[in-house]
Amino acid sequence: MVPFFSFFLLVSFIFSFLTDELRSEAYFGASIGKGGGEYVFETGNRFPNLSGIRGGSRISFPRDPIFFGIQTGYFKNKWEVKGGIKSTLWYQQVSEARDEDFALFTVSTERATNVATREFSYYDSVTVYSGTRNFADGKGKSTLGENQFEVFGRFYFKDANPDLWKPSDGFFLTTGLRYSYFKYVFYDVIQFIDGRPPFYGPIGLGLTFSNDLTELFYGLGYRKTFENFYWDAAFMPSQGIIKTRDFHVQRSINFLSDNYGSGWLLTNEFGVTFSDSFLAFFRLTHHRYFSEGRFVSRGGLTQEDIQSNFAGGFRSHINIKDYNFDFGIVHKWDWNIPEAEDFDDESKGILPGKSKVRKR
pLDDT tens digits, one per residue of 149-171:
999 999 999 899 999 999 999 99
Q: What is the mean pLDDT of the chain?
A: 86
Among 323, 328, 156, 284, CA closest to 225: 156
196 band by pLDDT with thresholds 50, 70 and 90: confident
What pLDDT, on the 0 to 100 scale, is given for residue 311?
77
Using DSSP, state whether 322 is helix, strand or coil.
strand
1 band by pLDDT with thresholds 50, 70 and 90: very low
What pLDDT, on the 0 to 100 scale, is given for residue 135?
93
49 band by pLDDT with thresholds 50, 70 and 90: low
By the 10 Å C-beta count (0-12 exposed, 13-18 middle, 19+ buried), 291 is classed as buried
14 band by pLDDT with thresholds 50, 70 and 90: low
Average pLDDT on 324-345 reads 72
79 has a pLDDT exceeding 70: yes
For residues 42 and 65, give the distance between their C-alpha atoms in angstroms, rounded to a whole number.
22
Any idea of the CA torsion for 81, 77, 219, 333, to the nearest 10 degrees? Answer: 40
244 has a pLDDT exceeding 80: yes
Q: What is the 3-state secondary structure (H, E, C) of 220-287?
A: EEEEEEECCEEEEEEEEEEEEEEEEEEEECCCCEEEEEEEEEEEEEEEEEEEEECCCCEEEEEEEEEE
How much is the CA Rg of the chain, to the nearest whole Å?
27
For residues 46 and 129, give the distance between their C-alpha atoms in angstroms, rounded to a whole number.
9
pLDDT tens profile 256-278:
999 999 999 999 999 999 988 89
What pLDDT, on the 0 to 100 scale, is given for residue 82?
94
What pLDDT, on the 0 to 100 scale, is given for residue 336?
57
Q: Percentage of the chain with pLDDT > 70? A: 84
pLDDT tens profile 282-316:
999 999 999 999 999 998 888 877 887 887 788 99
What pLDDT, on the 0 to 100 scale, is given for residue 117?
73
Among 285, 237, 257, 208, CA closest to 37: 285
221 has a pLDDT exceeding 80: yes
Average pLDDT on 328-344 reads 67
Average pLDDT on 214-221 reads 97
251 band by pLDDT with thresholds 50, 70 and 90: confident
| pTM as predicted | 0.84
End-to-end Cα separation, the chain, in angstroms:
75
What pLDDT, on the 0 to 100 scale, is given for residue 304?
79
For residues 20 and 109, give the distance between their C-alpha atoms in angstroms, rounded to a whole number.
58
241 has a pLDDT exceeding 80: yes
> How many CA atoms lie less than 13 Å away from 95 in the CB half-sphere?
11
